[in-house]
Amino acid sequence: MTTQAKTGRTYNYEITIGRSSVTGESFRTPMALSLGRDNEIYVLNRTTERQVLGHRVCRLNLAEEFLGDFGQRGEEDGQFIWAFSVACHPDGRVFVSDEWLNRISIFSREGQFLGKWGSKGSSPGELNGPAGMVFESDGNLLIADGQNHRIQRFTAGGEFVSTWGSFGKGDGQFNYPWGINVDDAGNVHVADWRNDRIQKFSPNGDFLMKFGSSGNGEGQFNRPTHVAVDSDGDIYVTDWGNDRVQVFDSEGSFVDLWTGNASLSTWGKLQLGGNTAFWEQRASVPDMAEKEKKFREPISVQVDAENRIMVLDGRRDRIQIYRKAS
């Protein structure tokens, strides 16, 4: 599939990775994805409370190779209750935020538990519902401190560096911020979730711009969860409550809107395997391919160095990958 946006940009759908299951080469109710070294992808899964082993980080690559997983539900070291986001440090370490335990857990690239930090509170350096995270190029970690309605910057070791924002609707204020990302210039983009908008800040937290309002029209959002920026400055937003992804230029002007183009993944084909009942059931649905294409609660988005846009399709347990061709 090729999407020709009104502004002349061209996007090609490339591949779908994933399938739905609690363990093994699969995802279940994924929350976030992060790009690691050597084109590795880390996907954080929440699943349900009873599915203890499903609270995990999956490690895979673009060749659809499943490289392993780590974590489970619980309060012990290396475990999660309400795991929210995953972020890969430039040195390869993997950081996971837990909005219930108010802590950041640190793992090696292969998933060995290395440490944790974080405590509940509202003072600078304390956390209340840590949500999205992203590493800056210098190795500092930005956290959308959800229920404190602010952004906080820490060293990778957990030392508080700086903070900005407060609860509200004004410029630089937040209402349950969720996803956070940085562009090539180091500017910070935040999915200001309950304000239905994206805000952009300079690296030191100065407000630069905002766009979006509540609704389901072009340029409007229903609880946007995440944001990413490509090398041209174009901005991709997972418009979670509207089951779509929207694209904006660097000024925040609407460019394009995607409702999904997924196809049956390799892992999915393996899951269906020789189960003829599943194949027959699929064949009985007249618009199966169209149904299968669509996003359902896309929740996280990242862009890699080759302008591949990876959309974590939250309630379909898969990643839809697009590439910007021009």
Partner 1 sequence: MSEKDIALMAHLMRRAGFGASREELERRVANGYEATVEELLNPEQQPPWEEDLARRHHIGARYGNGLPETQGWWLQRMVSTKRPLEEKMTLFWHSILCTGNAKVDHPQTVQVQIEMLRRHCLGNYRELLGDLSRDPAMIIYLDNRDNHKGAINENWGRELLELFTMGVGNYTEDDVKEASRAFTGWTHKPFPPLYPFQRYFLEFEYKPDDHDDGEKTFLGQRGRFNGDDILDIVVRQPATARFIARHLYNFFVADEPHVPAWPHTPPRDGAAVNILADAYLQSGYDMRSVMRALFNSDFFKDESVHYAKVKSPVEVVVGTLRLVEDYITPKPGIDALVTQAGYMGQMILNPPSVEGWHAGKEWINSGSLSSRVNFVAERVGDTTMPGVQNIINRLATESRMSAPDFVDGCLELVGPLTIGEQARAALIAHVEQGGPLSRDTEEQRSDFARRTGRVLQLIAATREYQFA
Q: Give the β-pairing of 213-214 and 220-221.
A: parallel
CA–CA dist 128, 101 (Å, integer): 9
CA–CA dist 1, 5 (Å, integer): 13
Binds partner 1 by CB under 8 A, chosen from 4, 7, 10, 48: 48
Distance of closest approach, residue 243 Cβ to partner 1, in angstroms: 12
Q: How many residues are there in the chain?
A: 326
Residues that bind partner 1 (rule: CB under 8 A) add up to a total of: 45
Phi then psi dihedrals of residue 204, to 5 deg:
-95, 10
CA–CA dist 24, 191 (Å, integer): 31
The pattern of x and - marking residues 210 through 239 that bind partner 1 according to CB under 8 A reads: -------------x----------------
Distance of closest approach, residue 271 Cβ to partner 1, in angstroms: 4
Q: Smaller CB distance to partner 1: residue 75 or 91?
A: 75
Binds partner 1 by CB under 8 A, chosen from 125, 194, 249, 252: 194
Binds partner 1 by CB under 8 A, chosen from 9, 17, 29, 227: 29
116 makes contact with partner 1 (CB under 8 A): no
Q: Which residues contact 83 (CB under 8 A, 6 or more apart)?
A: 31, 44, 45, 46, 55, 71, 96, 97, 98
Dmax (CA) for the chain in angstroms is: 58
292 makes contact with partner 1 (CB under 8 A): yes
Chain residues that interact with partner 1, rule: CB under 8 A: 19-21, 28-29, 31, 46-50, 81-82, 99-100, 176, 178, 193-194, 223, 241, 262, 264-265, 267-269, 271-272, 277-278, 281-282, 284-286, 288, 291-292, 296, 314-318
